[in-house]
Structure 1
Amino acid sequence: MEMYGTGDVGLVGKHLGNYRLTQLLGRGSFAEVYLAEHRHLKMQAAIKVLHTHIQEREAEAFYAEARTLAQLEHPNIIRVLEGGIDGDVPYLVMAYAPNGTLQQRYRLGQCYEPHVILPHVMQIADALSYAHQRRIVHRDMKPENVLLGVAHEALLSDFGLAVIAHHTHSQHREAFAGSVNYMAPEVIQGYPRPASDQYALAAIMYTWLSGKPLFAGTFREVLSQHLTLAPTSLTTHLPDVHPGVAHVIERALAKDPHQRFPDISSFARAFEQACLGEPGPYEAGYQAQPGIMERERIVEIPTGDEALSTRQIEAETQRIPASTRHISRRLVVGSIALGAGIIAVGGGVSWWALRRPEAAQSTPKKSPAPTHSPAQKPLPPFGTRLLIFNGHDIHNDPQQAGSYNTITALGWSPDGRLIASADLNRVLVWDAGQGKLSAQPREQLGSITRLNWRDNDTLVSVNGQQPGANESGVRVWKAHSGVVQATYHSGGNAIPIVVSPDGKFVLGMKNVSDQKNASNLGNLLVWDLVTGETQTTHPGLHVLSNVDASWSADGKYIATAFSTGGSSGDVDIALFGIMTWRRDNGSDLVSNPSGEHDALHIAWQPGGRLVATGYIEGHVRVWDGLSGAQQAIFQAGKQGESVLALAWSPDGTRLAASIGSLQAQGYVSAVPVWDIARKQLLGSYAKHTDYVRAMAWSPDSTRIASTDGSVVHIWQAE
């Protein structure tokens, strides 16, 4: 029997059941999480190895909880595939979520607009409602327990993990150090119920909106504040917050669970209405309807050195301000003692009270309703044009002529302040809020096909010229001074297409001689940006004049698409291809996944594994870049309209496509935007008068900059 300590990282390479642990993903208070691979199926999974050793009499309780978790099937709940005990160490096998957690997505200290967090709030609430209908309470809601799936959808994890820890005597103070910030008063008192998850979600939302935790202080101080203090109103931190938003959050944070919303779905709907500025049931005061029976109460009798003594508890309550001592001191002392039992290490005794919990002996009084400032300006509707930048227009620069002022590339700075736009002659850097030039125009030779920001003052431009052109290459230069830091030429008649996310490699195209139509065909290759040495060659023939490519965020994979769309009589002479392949060795992963070939554009989801392809016929497909599995198909345009560009939002949740055609009445152009997780069209922006050849999202995923010939539109995209 092998013993695993809580700090042991030596599990990598070992087997648990049919899985080999390949990488330590993270360590929490209850468990360590490993990336693992099934020894036969070669599929990845996440394995959570608990920080405990199960005794024989506890094994059945563990398996019972594992069976309950495995029965949860919901698009916003991480799947538990199986559970097991290796020696005396319990573990859970779960689906692998590749994009981190909401703790990483919404950083403490930053304030997020209500409409930004709304999609994830709705997903979390839907998952919790599903669990509550099955008489399951999460008990440990916190941002780090919400993972992000391949489409950046919320995936709740760790259902029941705290319960399993209680069963196995692994509970300790550190285990609840993060959870205490979101712990409902009745959970501290030992009475968890569905309304407890509502309180926890509201506390999470409060932190996202205000940038501050609900309460601050030591572990015991935060416990006592949950029991006794009304939190600072959101309007104090955010004077312009919509009153409805503040009311909804405050009601869900009521000390008495019966004063909260009747259920988690009602809470989420009220928040959605408030975000949209619609009237709703914001005011607290009505009783929850009888519904789902709360799960059984857990009572802990603390023993051992870590249990808080009565004297310590008395000392803690002395710190509570006199103005807040309207709640029974007996209730506070007893509840903190119970909280001490929850965090006791070893020696604690647990049992289930197999009945509905009785009401608390004392009901906290309602805190006075806070005053609210005037409502903030409503969020502009989707498609609202916020700005037009015409710095490339020939009327502003008579020296420019004809098509030379057509904008070919856009890039939005990481801090959201600046936009860089390129035409065939120069690059302009300008303020995204006011449209004023922020730097002198930078003269450029050649056609800039890609324009990216390395940081807030460094630009990387790709000049994709035909083979032999001297200006073909990649330049790194300062946005404000225009000083060129480096220029990289591939040599050997290779055309650069796109730089890798880490800036180390370039994907490009090289001529293929002695082939039919040799002047138009080439092989893909990856070369080192600094040394120019070829790292990988993809031997498949591609069409030099029409290649689009995109890297995965980790730089391991590349997606490419090309098409000629040509024919002669009854004979199709078109050359086409859609594929994803490995950067390290050039081997194909997926080829033509849908059976359709004539894709003009391709884009890999930021931080995910989805790939979008836009087709000549005007539709867009979304599919898994590693397996080829189809996820969604969207009809972007009408007959005769083609997809001209694709752009994922930086958070990976939405996709924009430019469609266009030349009709008798002139250009027809529009940019539809879809929510990928919900597979819904959010809206379409149709105020362009020319083709949209390039688009760029703002870093906060709320706005889009799109080209319109020689001008740029900035518009609301959510």
Structure 2
Amino acid sequence: MLYRAGQQIGHYRLTHIVGEGPHAQVFVAEHLPSQAPVAIKMLRARLAQEEIEKFSRSARRIANLSHPHIMRVSDYGVERNVPYLVMEVALNGSLRRRHPEGTRLSTQRILAYARQISEALHYAHSENYLHQFIKPENMLLDKQGNVLLSDFFLPLGIFTARSPENSLYMAPEQYQGVARQTSDQYALGLIIYEWFTGERPTYDPLSTRLFQYGSLLPPLRAKVPSVSTEIEQVVMTALAREPHQRFKSMQAFASALEEAFRARPSSGPLRSFPQRVAVAPASQMTTPLSPLSTPNGVAVDVPEAPAEVKAAGRVIWTARANHGAVRSLSWSYDGRRLVSGGNDMQARVWDASTGKVLLSYGGHRTGVHTVAWSPRGLLIASAGYDPQVHVWSATRGAIMHTFQAHTQPVKALAWSSDGQRLASVDGPDGMVRVWDAMSGMQHATFKPQDKDVAALTWSPDGTCVAVASEDGGVQIWHVNTPRHHGRIFSDPSFASVQALAWASGNSYMASGGEEQVIHYWNTNTGRDKLLFSGHTQKILSLSWSQDGKLLASSSADGSVRIWDVRTGACVFAYSSKHPPVHAVAWSPGGSLLACGDADGSIQVWQIQFPA
């Protein structure tokens, strides 16, 4: 039976279809009592009574699986003998959608994905449940970009072992009808092999011809010579034909992969820090980005480096922004107030000296992902997982404009330096829009080369917009020229860029992400001037001090660091008890630093240097 939007299934009303395959239809639906959005998977099967009982037992076991990297099944049922599962909505799609077939991934990204999936499988195995259908289409991404493993095996006749869509990533013994824990390990090994090579592995599971490591596939380095022998050995061990030759557990496999990653030679891509390159001029840009000028007409540059000094930090206040993570922070132009946005659907204005809430804005129906205070101080812009940008009064909370041209959740927004324009970008389509802040009219649109845009920033002189993408690219666009010329830069490590901050002077930018390293680089040539290394997980936020001498960073590892761009040294470090720290922001005066973490806590620090 085929279902359509508008039909009611139990306590849920189907709103629109988001996916369809030979085994199921997937809808976004509304939970009628709470009006909350959910995803419903309607299986293409009509069950006899004994099958209904078997389905209910298995669905109950899956619903009891509780892990940060497993898609939670919140409800299940049978409607007119058709089984269904209810889950949360994964707004960012699957890993197959993010990385289409033929895409090669960086070692850093592969390790990050493998770590999360291995943790989920290790937990499921400890609960005596096998997945059996490991494939990129069943690896979904949540709002923060974390992997959620979905579509665990259900003992129904529609899920046959040898169907083409299920056998692509199947271990030889599973193909013959005998699945075990190491079968899931084999499937993940096949996916990692594909991520390294960019080719979907093809092999005969019944073949007796073996390559090195007892595998049915050629060694990884035969396809990608740049992969270290240590990493190759781990991946090919997971791909051994005989189950007893693989790692004993998912935990052992993940640990071995981590060790192999750390054992890479210093000439490897992470430690050699390859220079980003100009991939291609967007719209054939030939005009370089001009540095900002002082009143005397002299270009601003980074000052000479003084002797290294350490900063001291003192907490001014700590506050809890109700439920959910703090996702974004922005200061008023005079440094007297601070606005925060978070997962609890509220944007709050705080007194910067006392930590008292002065105003709450509740105009969004979903979490507030990004907030920005206008340079003129009168307006605040906010956006979230609904496709709208709200501009509202910073003193009264009254809505001034609602920009509704986006069709996807808004990932980032920023004001131009004169406060007249606002740039915003949605995802996963990645459309960048520039608005007139007072009239609400759309000034320009850009379509980045990569759809999965993670960060956006304006140049200090207000002439350019830069966006960063999940494939490691940074695109810079001139917004005032007739054809909005731009330039595209790409990092050869292909590590996802999650944060951007343009330095005063227009000629340099800081960027960071999955690589766990912050690059300080020239926006005309793409060449690195400095590298800041110290975070142990991906960088999530960057912020410059007003004088351009200090750069603050926050990371998924829970730390906040301050870097001196004249020396490259870390002059201050703080670790939160509730990682990750999603947001960090310098006050305009440069003496206060605000940070917000996953627990919903905000801290404001007084940063002091020795006299």
Give me the TM-score of the superposition, normalised by structure 2. 0.54
Preserved contact between residue 374 and residue 381 of structure 2 (Cα < 8 Å): no
CA–CA separation in structure 1 for the residues paired with 2:561 and 2:176: 47
- Alignment of 1:687 onto 2:529: no
Which amino acid letter does the alignment assign opposite residue 176 of structure 2?
Q
- Which one of 175, 183, 193 corresponds to residue 188 of structure 1? 175
Max Rg structure? 1
1:180-204 residue CA offsets vs partner (Å, 9 max, x unmatched): 2211112112221111111110000
Counterpart of 1:224 in structure 2 is 206
Larger relative contact order (CA 8 Å, sep ≥ 6): 2
Preserved contact between residue 169 and residue 187 of structure 2 (Cα < 8 Å): yes
Listed as ranges, the matches of 1:513-552 within 5 Å are: 544=376, 549=381
Which amino acid letter does the alignment assign opposite residue 116 of structure 2?
Q
Counterpart of 2:480 in structure 1 is none
Counterpart of 1:57 in structure 2 is 50
1:429-485 residue CA offsets vs partner (Å, 9 max, x unmatched): 99xxxxxxx7244899999xxxxxxxxxxxxxxxxxxxxxxxxxxxxxxxxxxxxxx
- Alignment of 1:14 onto 2:7: yes
Please give the secondary structure, in 1, of the residue aligned with 2:29. strand
- Which one of 214, 217, 234 corresponds to residue 220 of structure 2? 234
- Alignment of 1:111 onto 2:104: yes
Please give the secondary structure, in 2, of the residue aligned with 1:178. helix
- Alignment of 1:268 onto 2:254: yes
CA–CA separation in structure 2 for the residues paired with 1:65 and 1:227: 37
Preserved contact between residue 24 and residue 33 of structure 1 (Cα < 8 Å): yes
Where structure 2 has 5 or more consecutive residues not aligned to the other structure, the ranges are 295-372, 411-421, 429-451, 458-508, 516-536, 569-611
Shift of residue 263, structure 1, vs aligned partner: 0.7
CA–CA separation in structure 2 for the residues paired with 1:184 and 1:205: 14
CA–CA separation in structure 1 for the residues paired with 2:563 and 2:77: 52
Counterpart of 1:698 in structure 2 is none
Counterpart of 1:439 in structure 2 is 286
Listed as ranges, the matches of 1:559-598 within 5 Å are: 575=395, 583-584=403-404
Preserved contact between residue 210 and residue 238 of structure 1 (Cα < 8 Å): yes
Paired residues, number: 381
Listed as ranges, the matches of 1:27-46 within 5 Å are: 27-46=20-39
Please give the secondary structure, in 2, of the residue aligned with 1:191. coil
Gap change, CA 1:183 and 1:233, over 3 Å in 2: same
Preserved contact between residue 181 and residue 203 of structure 1 (Cα < 8 Å): no
Gap change, CA 1:249 and 1:442, over 3 Å in 2: closer
Preserved contact between residue 670 and residue 688 of structure 1 (Cα < 8 Å): no
Please give the secondary structure, in 1, of the residue aligned with 2:168. helix
Preserved contact between residue 69 and residue 160 of structure 1 (Cα < 8 Å): no
Counterpart of 1:213 in structure 2 is 200
**Displacement over 6 Å in runs of 4+:** 226-229, 442-447, 576-581, 601-605, 608-613, 645-648, 650-653
Please give the secondary structure, in 1, of the residue aligned with 2:104. coil
CA–CA separation in structure 1 for the residues paired with 2:191 and 2:12: 34
CA–CA separation in structure 1 for the residues paired with 2:263 and 2:455: 35
Preserved contact between residue 147 and residue 154 of structure 1 (Cα < 8 Å): yes
Listed as ranges, the matches of 1:564-713 within 5 Å are: 575=395, 583-584=403-404, 606-607=427-428, 654-662=539-547, 668-675=549-556, 680-681=558-559, 686-688=564-566
Counterpart of 1:202 in structure 2 is 189
Which amino acid letter does the alignment assign opposite residue 177 of structure 2?
G
Which amino acid letter does the alignment assign opposite residue 378 of structure 1?
G
Shift of residue 602, structure 1, vs aligned partner: 11
Which amino acid letter does the alignment assign opposite residue 680 of structure 1?
G
CA–CA separation in structure 2 for the residues paired with 1:86 and 1:658: 52
Preserved contact between residue 547 and residue 560 of structure 1 (Cα < 8 Å): yes
Gap change, CA 1:97 and 1:581, over 3 Å in 2: farther
Which amino acid letter does the alignment assign opposite residue 231 of structure 1?
L
Please give the secondary structure, in 2, of the residue aligned with 1:195. helix
Which amino acid letter does the alignment assign opposite residue 541 of structure 2?
A
Preserved contact between residue 542 and residue 576 of structure 1 (Cα < 8 Å): no
Which amino acid letter does the alignment assign opposite residue 118 of structure 2?
A
Counterpart of 1:558 in structure 2 is 389
Listed as ranges, the matches of 1:8-157 within 5 Å are: 8=2, 10-157=3-150
Where structure 1 has 5 or more consecutive residues not aligned to the other structure, the ranges are 217-221, 279-374, 388-414, 421-428, 431-437, 448-540, 564-574, 591-600, 614-644, 691-718
CA–CA separation in structure 1 for the residues paired with 2:275 and 2:166: 41
- Alignment of 1:277 onto 2:263: yes
CA–CA separation in structure 1 for the residues paired with 2:16 and 2:133: 25
Preserved contact between residue 388 and residue 405 of structure 2 (Cα < 8 Å): no
1:517-543 residue CA offsets vs partner (Å, 9 max, x unmatched): xxxxxxxxxxxxxxxxxxxxxxxx977
Preserved contact between residue 23 and residue 36 of structure 1 (Cα < 8 Å): yes
CA–CA separation in structure 1 for the residues paired with 2:188 and 2:128: 18
1:159-218 residue CA offsets vs partner (Å, 9 max, x unmatched): 123x2x2xxx22458x832332211112112221111111110000000110112215xx
Which amino acid letter does the alignment assign opposite residue 127 of structure 1?
A
Residue identity over aligned pairs, in percent, reads 29
CA–CA separation in structure 1 for the residues paired with 2:120 and 2:400: 33
Shift of residue 604, structure 1, vs aligned partner: 7.5
Preserved contact between residue 185 and residue 227 of structure 1 (Cα < 8 Å): no
Preserved contact between residue 16 and residue 27 of structure 2 (Cα < 8 Å): yes
Listed as ranges, the matches of 1:472-511 within 5 Å are: none
Preserved contact between residue 559 and residue 578 of structure 1 (Cα < 8 Å): no
Gap change, CA 1:114 and 1:176, over 3 Å in 2: farther
